[in-house]
Amino acid sequence: MSKTTEQVRKSLARRYRAERRFRAYGIISIAIGLAALAILFTDIIGKGHSAFFEHYIKLDITFNEQTLDIEDARDPEQLNYGNYDGIVREALKTRFPEVTERLQVRELSALMSIGAGYELRDLLRENPEWLGTTQTLWLLADDDVDLFLKAGEKGREDSRMSAEQKAWITELEAAGDTERRFNASFFSSGDSREPELAGIWSAVVGSFFTMLVTLCLSFPIGVAAAIYLEEFAPRNRFTDFIEVNINNLAAVPSIIFGLLGLAIFINLFGVPRSVPVLGGLVLTLMTLPTIIITSRASIKTVPPSIREAAMGLGASRMQVVLHHVLPLALPGMLTGAIIGMAQALGETAPLLLIGMVAFIVDIPTGPLDASTVLPVQIYLWADSPEQSFVAMTSAAIMVLLAFLIAMNTLAVVLRKRLERRW
Amino acid sequence: MDTAEKLDKNASGRNHAEEPMIDLEEQPMQETRYPEHTVGTPFVDDPKMRLRDVDVFYGDNQAIHKVSLDIGKNEVVALIGPSGCGKSTFLRSLNRMNDTIDICRVTGELFLEDQDLYDPKMDVVELRARVGMVFQKPNPFPKSIYDNVAYGPRLHGLANKKYELDEIVETSLRKAGLWDEVKDRLHAPGTGLSGGQQQRLCIARTIAVSPEVVLMDEPCSALDPIATAKIEELIDELTESYTIAIVTHSMQQAARVSNRTAYFHLGRLIEVNDTETVFTKPEHELTEAYITGRFG
């Protein structure tokens, strides 16, 4: 055995150990990342899943003309001003005849959601012939009742409801007059002071319009800037300066963009506050650097030989870009745009400064209606005192995460699909 | 020859002009003087391209020194010389492909028949339609074979009807000797062909615009011997209708395909003569040294 071989053999074991360690570091890093993700998801899903359901209570409602103060159920005017809470109260009193004291009656009627009255109005509008009859109906329970029913033994003891209220609910539950249903209103209504009535739809629509404005502005501007910088701009100090500053912009904290939007768009140009157009403008500023940087990177991957071939056939620079560079770079650009959009979708700080933090009940109908966006809605709910909003907040986070995951998956799929192999 | 090819590989992708061969200067040839004028017969009667005192600069670096050369009608001129001697740079200035490099500057008289190539009024689009180019590495567009060939004619509006375009595509592919191999899969991607087929596709694409001159920059350097033989055969046939200037590293190839051969050395045109003369009785010692393989 030669001396070299001997030396090599000696060092081999150490080398393999080092290699194994090196690989282990990578695996550990990935494991830490995955664990963090798993903890996040378990926590959010554990807290939030209950918000997708809510409880209903079965009551025999008598549509009494006197209590309702309605003579003609086909008159919209009368329908609007009917005393629906009154018939709910009467139904509860009939269900629990032992309750007579004023204070107790008030506690009793607190079992039902304010939304129950609105529901009855809508039912009466659809079925005017119900006036004067008694119907067995499932009506939405108050959020405290909902929490109580969802809670376990210990949670029930800790509930902030009075002992009588607890007794009534337990009685209803035992009689099978409570029911858990899918919380459809969570996905179809706007914000509300009452947790059982609040939903994310206005925030989702607001986010949609904001993203639409952002995409329509930032994608064309970003791609045009990237093409100019890559294909046409001369290489000199000025373009170096621009490049450095684009990278700087990408690193600027997003709240600064909010201040900029406040100072420029609202104060200088008089754009109305709280509207998706304004949010879109601010988020465009924020997304532009991301789109420019990723677009330039994907233009750079187009082989120069393709440009030469087209140019050698007599294509002008614009034709080279439009016929060859752009189609080849587009998948990368789209991926960049989607990632930029995902970033913008989760952005909260700049929007707080431009008034998109408002309490929005109505569903926005266009990009010029006052609205809020999903992350801001999460922020608002996280700040609310009612206990039910804890679950609502987590549920809203789940919806936001679902959108983000969908967008990022789309980006990956697009890249895989459209990627060209040379 | 092996050395030549190795050097070729080293140099490919780099800027030939910026890296004169240091090795050469260390060899015992320092007494060799560059000739005052190109030796041999650089000029012909009634040339297709007339090039006089051409200088090419990259910034402050002079890559080509006072090259004067005629390219005759329907002839094949081979440009040979060691790596970094500027032959590719010279070739690319003949259809202004150097325009894309900001720091590149070309001076001298360059005429295609009676038109000045570098006249501000000269349109590069028109020039490149008349002087086509085939590159070192086959570079088909990532489109179908048909679209590859049809790109040029479409660009210049050479065909108005579908059948006219079909005809141009077919004749071009036939001339490039590729028709029989691809006629059943014209709409398959051009990038799916073999290297040699891709290069013939690129030639078909170039001649689809019916240029007057075809410039070839080492068209066979990335191909195997069989594909190379096919391309050489093709060049022979193309002389009937086109004027060809070809840069090559293979002296056998130059000997096989060209009518005249020009030898470049460190940015200077040393000798131009009939190919036979260059390879049998070279006039200048540098030419002789190169073709006998004393350096590569």
Whether A291 is in a domain gets the answer yes
Binding-face residues of B in 54-73 toward A, CB within 8 A: none
| Chain A interface, best mutation among B135, B136, B141, B213, by max A CB count within 10 A | B141
Q: Tell me what pLDDT residue B148 has.
A: 93
Residues A65 and A154 in one domain: yes
Q: What is the 3-state secondary structure (H, E, C) of A281-320?
A: HHHHHHHHHHHHHHHHHHHHCCCHHHHHHHHHCCCCHHHH
Q: Which two tokens stand for residue B184?
A: 């059943």
% helix, strand, coil for chain B, step of 5 = 40, 25, 35
Instruction: Give the CA-trace dihedral at B37, B41, B43, B49, to 10 degrees.
Output: -100
User: Is there a contact between B277 and B74 (Cβ–Cβ < 8 Å)?
Assistant: no
Residues A393 and A333 in one domain: yes
Q: Tell me what pLDDT residue A226 has.
A: 95
Q: Tell me what pLDDT residue A378 has.
A: 93
Tell which residue, A422, A401, A250, has the closest CA to residue A336. A250
Q: Helix, strand, or coil here: B133?
A: strand
**Among all chains, which residue has been given the structure tokens 């809203």?**
A396
How does DSSP assign B217-271, residue by residue? ESTTTTS-HHHHHHHHHHHHHHTTT-EEEEE-S-HHHHHHH-SEEEEEETTEEEE
Angle subtended at Cα A387 by Cα A384 and Cα A388, rounded to the nearest 5 degrees: 95
Whether A22 is in a domain gets the answer yes
CATH code of A215's domain: 1.10.3720.10
Average pLDDT over residues A185-205: 91
Tell which residue, A314, A296, A294, A285, has the closest CA to residue A232. A296
- Which of B125, B133, B205 comes nearest A316 by C-beta? B125
pLDDT averaged per 10 residues, chain B (length 296): 43 43 47 68 85 90 89 91 87 88 87 88 88 91 92 88 92 89 91 90 92 91 85 88 90 90 89 89 86 74
Residues A86 and A13 in one domain: no
DSSP state of A175: T
Other CB atoms within 10 Å distance of the CB of residue A216: 13
Q: Helix, strand, or coil here: A181?
A: strand
CA distance A413 to chain B (A): 21
Crossing angle (nearest 10°) for helices B145-156 and B195-207 = 20
Residues A111 and A22 in one domain: no
- Which of B133, B156, B191 comes nearest A312 by C-beta? B133
Listed residues A183, A213, A231: the one ending a domain: A183
Whether A343 is in a domain gets the answer yes
> Do residue B124 and residue A312 have CB atoms under 8 angstroms apart?
no
Put simply, whether A326 touches B (Cβ < 8 Å) is no
| Chain A interface, best mutation among B14, B94, B97, B128, by max A CB count within 10 A | B128
Residues of B in contact with A303 (CB under 8 A): 139
Q: Tell me what pLDDT residue A73 has.
A: 80
> Do residue B202 and residue A319 have CB atoms under 8 angstroms apart?
no
> Do residue A323 and residue B125 have CB atoms under 8 angstroms apart?
no
Distance CA B86, CA B41 (A): 20
Distance CA A71, CA B172 (A): 90
Q: Which two tokens stand for residue A60?
A: 């025999």
In our burial notation (b when 16+ CB lie closer than 10 A, e otherwise), range B197-218 reads bbbbbbbbbbbbbbbbbbbbbb
Put simply, whether A22 touches B (Cβ < 8 Å) is no
Residues of B in contact with A312 (CB under 8 A): 95, 97, 128, 132-133, 135, 206
Residues A167 and A64 in one domain: yes
Put simply, whether B95 touches A (Cβ < 8 Å) is yes
Put simply, whether A323 touches B (Cβ < 8 Å) is yes
Residues of B in contact with A326 (CB under 8 A): none
Residues of A in contact with B135 (CB under 8 A): 305, 308-309, 312
Residues A246 and A376 in one domain: yes
Tell which residue, B109, B85, B105, has the closest CA to residue B271. B85
pLDDT exceeds cutoff 90 at A75: no
Q: What is the 3-state secondary structure (H, E, C) of B173-215?
A: HHHCCCHHHHHHHCCCEHHHCCHHHHHHHHHHHHHCCCCCEEE
| Chain A interface, best mutation among B117, B122, B139, B213, by max A CB count within 10 A | B139
Residues of B in contact with A231 (CB under 8 A): none
Residues A271 and A412 in one domain: yes
How does DSSP assign A227-274, residue by residue? HIIIIIS--SHHHHHHHHHHHHHHHS-HHHHHHHHIIIIIIIT-PPTT
CA distance B279 to chain A (A): 32
pLDDT exceeds cutoff 60 at A266: yes
User: Is there a contact between B217 and B79 (Cβ–Cβ < 8 Å)?
Assistant: no
Residues of B in contact with A306 (CB under 8 A): 139, 141-142
Q: Which two tokens stand for residue A319?
A: 């034709």
Which ipTM value was assigned to this complex? 0.79
Q: Helix, strand, or coil here: B159?
A: coil
Terminus-to-terminus CA distance in chain A, angstroms? 48
Listed residues A133, A149, A183: the one ending a domain: A183
Whether A196 is in a domain gets the answer no
- Which of B124, B137, B156 comes nearest A305 by C-beta? B137
Q: Tell me what pLDDT residue A70 has.
A: 84
> Do residue B141 and residue A314 have CB atoms under 8 angstroms apart?
no
* Size (chain B), residues: 296
Binding-face residues of A in 126-155 toward B, CB within 8 A: none
Listed residues A183, A210, A226: the one ending a domain: A183
The domain tally of chain A equals: 3
Residues 6+ apart with CB under 8 A from A267: none
Backbone φ and ψ of B228, nearest 5°? -60, -45
Whether A189 is in a domain gets the answer no
> Do residue A314 and residue B155 have CB atoms under 8 angstroms apart?
yes
Residues of A in contact with B125 (CB under 8 A): 314-316
Q: Tell me what pLDDT residue A160 has.
A: 81
Residues of A in contact with B100 (CB under 8 A): 307, 311
Tell which residue, B147, B207, B201, B213, has the closest CA to residue B177. B201
Put simply, whether A313 touches B (Cβ < 8 Å) is yes
Residues A35 and A139 in one domain: no
Put simply, whether B84 touches A (Cβ < 8 Å) is no
Average pLDDT over residues A73-100: 87
Distance CA A154, CA A157 (A): 5
Distance CA B142, CA B140 (A): 6
> Do residue A315 and residue B100 have CB atoms under 8 angstroms apart?
no
pTM, whole model, 2 decimals?
0.80
Whether A172 is in a domain gets the answer yes
Tell which residue, B24, B77, B61, has the closest CA to residue B271. B77
Other CB atoms within 10 Å distance of the CB of residue B219: 28
Residues of A in contact with B102 (CB under 8 A): 234-235
CA distance A416 to chain B (A): 17
Residues A17 and A115 in one domain: no
Q: Count of CB contacts below 8 A, A vs B?
A: 61
Residue range(s) defining the domain that contains residue A31: 3-49
Whether A360 is in a domain gets the answer yes
Q: Tell me what pLDDT residue B26 has.
A: 46
Put simply, whether A267 touches B (Cβ < 8 Å) is no
Residues of A in contact with B139 (CB under 8 A): 303, 305-306, 308-309
Residues A30 and A62 in one domain: no
User: Is there a contact between A291 and A337 (Cβ–Cβ < 8 Å)?
Assistant: yes
CA distance B295 to chain A (A): 30
Tell which residue, A260, A422, A280, has the closest CA to residue A353. A260
Residue B167 CA to its chain's centroid (Å): 27
CA atoms within 13 A on the CB side of B256: 16
Element (H, E) at A154: helix A153-158
Q: Tell me what pLDDT residue B251 has.
A: 86
Distance CA B207, CA B151 (A): 11
Residues A332 and A215 in one domain: yes
Whether A192 is in a domain gets the answer no
Q: Tell me what pLDDT residue B234 has.
A: 87
Distance CA B267, CA B282 (A): 19
Put simply, whether A160 touches B (Cβ < 8 Å) is no
Ordered strands of the A134-140 beta sheet? A134-140, A53-62, A178-182
Q: Tell me what pLDDT residue A8 has.
A: 87
Instruction: Give the CA-trace dihedral at A304, A307, A309, A312, to 10 degrees.
Output: -120
CB burial of residue B250 (10 Å; 0-12, 13-18, 19+): buried
Where residue A397 falls among pLDDT bands split at 50, 70, 90?
Answer: very high
Binding-face residues of A in 344-363 toward B, CB within 8 A: none
One-letter amino acid identity for B136?
Q
Residues A35 and A68 in one domain: no
Quick one: what percent of chain A has pLDDT higher than 90? 49
